[in-house]
Structures are given as structure tokens and as C-alpha cells.
Chain A
Amino acid sequence: MGMSVRPVDLAEALILRDESGALPFAGGTDLMVRHRAKNGMGPSFQKSLLFVDHLPELRRVKWDHGELEIGAAVPMAVLADDPRARKDALRREEASEEALSKIPSLLRDAAFDLGAPALRTRATPGGNVANASPAGDVLTALVALDARVILAHRNGERELPVLDFTLGPGKTQLAQNELIRAFRFPVPETRWCYWRKVGTRRANALTKVSLGAFGTIQNGTLESLSLAFGAVGPRIVLADDAAKMLLGFSEKDFESSDGKTRMAQAQKLAAQVISPIDDQRSTAHYRKTVALNLFEEALRALAKNLKENTDD
């Protein structure tokens, strides 16, 4: 059994990480479960732990030049708009009202759908991404938002797209001397968000299948779109070819015969990249069927949004 250490700031944490290779530990909602022993006993960790949940540098929500930066250890409750958690974050000056107001509904809803209130006060986006489960809800939302992960080490930082950072369940590109510091993504003014998670129990259930979609709209026309499917493969799946089919869509395209053809093609292209498996939570057949239903629901939501924008 290793030692657990609780550094005072990021600089100390990075030195400890570099020297010991200790396991970064944020909210613990995954790690404590994975390493649990019998009831009445504490967990059993083979490696030393490096607690990072309290590090000020990892708890900030910043709005900077049209981009939102979310610290790796910002509790999900803050992202999910829990008023008490947000008040605490404001009081500790970890976030400003403006920065919190920029959190897109896609991320807010995904954070809200994660666990139950007592898990959301502890769970963090850094942990959700480091866990790299394709069923990770906030991971899926961050991929849809085209977020980059900022990885800190003793001598600097590097950035890479969140999707590239994940390699498969439990596997990431995190180097032995690095810590996830934050996530960054642009938040355009005219945005469209969609989030739907399908699970069993309303709370605490892991995702069977999910879809996070994020688009930008200019003058009633869809300018960009990303569609991120969760739990349909070893990593989050971006249906980019399907999304491309829909670029330039405006309200009328949802009714026209050309538009309908393009939507049908987009759905076929989405179906091609979705390759779920059977496991204890669901079957491949169910997941694929539901994933495509979510795709249809997202398109209906998009049509409604474009209609309302056009009406303005």
C-alpha cells in the first residue's frame, strides 16, 4: 500500500507527480468504488495517491476571449447549476457569474445527469475524462463541444483534443509526470445544444447510450455541427460525416424532399460509425436502435430551434 499526499498547490502536485508517479485522485467517485474492499473496511490501493480535488488551480471556471476554461477539479454540481455549490465557488472566487453563465446547456445537462446530488458534489470532469469510459457523460459532452484538455507538467503544459486524449476504457495519453489541469472550448453566441442520456435508474445509473450535439447557427442556417455518441464503441464516437450532410440546413430543409434525402443519408452515415457491444448494461442491438432514435430526436430539436430563431 502506498502513501497518500495532499499537496498545497499545483506546483507542488506536479513535483510529487513527477517524482513518485502517484495516482491522481480528485473526487474519488470512480476510484473509491474500483478499489473498495469489503463492507466495514477502507479501500485498498496498490499505488500512492495524489489528492488534487482541492488544488485552487484546478477549480477555476474562467471566461477568456470567447473561450470557457473549466478546471479539472470543478465539482459536477457547479457545472450542473446546483445553487449552493455555485455560491461556494463564487465565494471562494473560483468562478465569476459571467463565466458560470457561459456554461453551455449541453455540459450542464450532462453534468446533471451524472450520478445523484451526493456524487455531483465530489465527481469532477477531470476524473470523468481520465476514466475514459465511453459511457462518461461529461466526457461525451466535452467531445461534442470540441474541447481540448490542458495537461500540466513541471516545465509547462500541452494541449490536445479530448477525444484524442482518450484511447479506450481506462486508457489515456496522460504521461507519468502530468496532471489534467483544465478543459477549454469556444462558446459561440448563437449555439444549439442537445443532450440525451439513456440509462436504467434515473439516478446513479451508468449510460447505456447517449448523444451530445453542439451546433452553431448563423442567420437561421446551421454553420457547424458535432454529434458525439456515448457508449457505442470503445471511445466516444463523433459522427462527422453525418454532421457534414446537415451543414447549411435551415428551417425549410427539414420539410423539403432534398432535405429529407440528406437527413436519411446522414442517419445512414451515423449508423456506419456506431458499433456498440453487448455487456451487462445493455445489448448492441438496443444501443444501436436507441442511438439512431436519439439522432432523429436531435434533428427534430434542431428543426424546432431553427424555426424559432427564424421567427425572431
Chain B
Amino acid sequence: MTVKLTVNGEERQVEVKDGTRRLLDVIREDLGLTGAKEGCGEGECGACSVLLNGQLVNSCLVPIAQADGSRVLTPEGLAQTPEGQVLAEAFTECHGAQCGFCTPGMMMASAALLYRNSQPNEQEIREGLSGNICRCTGYDMIIDAVLMAAQKGRGLWG
């Protein structure tokens, strides 16, 4: 089947033999966008997070047939936006990234949170990132980064 996607603002078509192929595999292998990572492969760790029609999803749990006709924002696309740049600066300044494997997913979840709640408190940030696992930072520095991104990006998140 032919699947049409708008990926990071660009229209793309992919041929897939099987509609149950994961969105994660299509964006990594067919589209060469390797920002989203496979961690657990079962929706527990959030490393594969992308926005599907503006909503945060684990791309390892989405069969590609369900994404047909949708908008997808990957970490590469987020990085090009002013919001993504604010997040990247805040993660850098607060030491929110160490090994970096969780970071793209963390930033996608952070962006999804800030889009629905532009001035979250610490508790709301912890809840917003609760589906993303980090084994390096102990989370506190990531929380600081999101607080900073909320403050520095005031007005950006709509």
C-alpha cells in the first residue's frame, strides 16, 4: 500500500508491503530520520516519541496504516522550530542531556506538554514526562530544563 504522510511539513509517500509496519521503522528506515529511537519497543520508555497530528505518541506502537494521511513531527522537525531551539538550549544549559538516548523523546514529550500547558509547574512536568525514561540524569535536570524552556519560550507555545 502507499502511505501518504506530511513529515516535518514535507509531503512524503512510502510504499509498504504491510500496514502493520511500525511508524517508528518507516521514519527511521524509509525516511532516514533517526532522531526517534527504539528503546523498549513496547510503549514504556518514550524514546520513540513523535507528534502525530499534534498529539504525542509512541511511534513503536503505531501501525503505519493508522498514520496514513497524517502529520508527523519528529525530533528533526522539532529542532527546526523556535520551540525546539528553546528546548535544546534549555536542555544544554541545565545539563538535561547526558548519554542522549532519551533526549529526542524527552524533547518531544516536553514540547507536547508545553503546547497543552505553556506554564506547567514541577508536578505537571513530572506527569507530562512520566512516559519517558532516563537512566542518566535522575530527571531533576530535565525538569529544570522544561521549566527554563517554559520561561524563555513565553509566548511561543500558544
Chain A residues whose CB sits within 8 angstroms of the CB of B22 once the complex forms:
32, 42-43
Closest to A28 in B: B61
Instruction: Tell me, rounded to whole Å, the shortest Cβ–Cβ distance linking B41 to chain A.
Output: 5
Q: Could you list some 16 contacts between A and B, CB below 8 A?
A: A28-B61, A32-B22, A32-B61, A41-B25, A42-B21, A49-B19, A53-B66, A54-B66, A84-B115, A88-B53, A88-B55, A115-B43, A117-B130, A118-B112, A119-B43, A119-B58
Distance, CA A75 to CA B65, complexed state (A): 18
Interface class of chain A by DSSP: loop
A residues contacting the other copy or chain, number (CB 8 A): 37
Pair A118/B57 contact, Cβ less than 8 Å: yes
Chain B residues whose CB sits within 8 angstroms of the CB of A83 once the complex forms:
116-117
Pair A118/B41 contact, Cβ less than 8 Å: no
Distance, CA A54 to CA B109, complexed state (A): 23
Pair B20/A43 contact, Cβ less than 8 Å: yes
Pair A29/B43 contact, Cβ less than 8 Å: yes
Closest to A205 in B: B44
Pair A4/B63 contact, Cβ less than 8 Å: yes
Say if the beta carbon of A121 comes within 8 Å of chain B: yes
Distance, CA A204 to CA B132, complexed state (A): 10
Chain A residues whose CB sits within 8 angstroms of the CB of B74 once the complex forms:
none
Pair B131/A118 contact, Cβ less than 8 Å: yes
Chain B residues whose CB sits within 8 angstroms of the CB of A85 once the complex forms:
55
Binding site for A on B (CB under 8 A): 18-22, 25, 38, 41-44, 46, 49, 52-58, 60-63, 65-66, 68, 109, 112-113, 115-117, 126-128, 130-132
Say if the beta carbon of A301 comes within 8 Å of chain B: no
Pair B131/A84 contact, Cβ less than 8 Å: no
Contact partner of A122 among B25, B61, B112, B115, CB < 8 A? B61
Mask: chain A, 109-124; 1 = CB below 8 Å from B; 0 = not: 0000001111101100
Closest to B126 in A: A202
Chain A residues whose CB sits within 8 angstroms of the CB of B132 once the complex forms:
116
Distance, CA A33 to CA B25, complexed state (A): 15
Closest to B54 in A: A84
Closest to B128 in A: A117
Binding site for B on A (CB under 8 A): 1, 3-4, 6, 25, 28-29, 32-33, 36, 39-43, 45, 49, 51, 53-54, 75, 77, 82-85, 88, 115-119, 121-122, 202-204
Instruction: Tell me, rounded to whole Å, the shortest Cβ–Cβ distance linking B83 to chain A.
Output: 14
- Assuming the contacts A28-B66, A118-B49, asked whether A4 and B130 have C-beta atoms less than 8 A apart, the reply is no
Pair A204/B130 contact, Cβ less than 8 Å: yes
Instruction: Tell me, rounded to whole Å, the shortest Cβ–Cβ distance linking B85 to chain A.
Output: 21
Chain A residues whose CB sits within 8 angstroms of the CB of B113 once the complex forms:
117
Distance, CA A41 to CA B113, complexed state (A): 29
Pair A118/B20 contact, Cβ less than 8 Å: no
Chain A residues whose CB sits within 8 angstroms of the CB of B112 once the complex forms:
84, 117-118
Distance, CA A29 to CA B131, complexed state (A): 13
Closest to A45 in B: B20
Closest to B38 in A: A39
Distance, CA A40 to CA B28, complexed state (A): 10
Pair B57/A4 contact, Cβ less than 8 Å: no
Distance, CA A51 to CA B1, complexed state (A): 15
Given contacts A42-B63, A118-B109, 15 further A-B contacts (CB under 8 A): A4-B19, A4-B20, A28-B62, A33-B61, A39-B41, A49-B20, A49-B63, A51-B66, A75-B55, A84-B55, A84-B115, A88-B53, A115-B43, A121-B55, A204-B130
Instruction: Tell me, rounded to whole Å, the shortest Cβ–Cβ distance linking A60 to chain B.
Output: 18
Pair A6/B66 contact, Cβ less than 8 Å: yes
Distance, CA A304 to CA B68, complexed state (A): 50
Pair A204/B43 contact, Cβ less than 8 Å: yes
Distance, CA A202 to CA B125, complexed state (A): 13
Instruction: Tell me, rounded to whole Å, the shortest Cβ–Cβ distance linking B59 to chain A.
Output: 9
Distance, CA A40 to CA B112, complexed state (A): 25
Contact partner of A116 among B115, B116, B130, CB < 8 A? B130
Instruction: Tell me, rounded to whole Å, the shortest Cβ–Cβ distance linking B44 to chain A.
Output: 6
Pair B20/A33 contact, Cβ less than 8 Å: no
Pair B43/A6 contact, Cβ less than 8 Å: no
Instruction: Tell me, rounded to whole Å, the shortest Cβ–Cβ distance linking A112 to chain B.
Output: 9
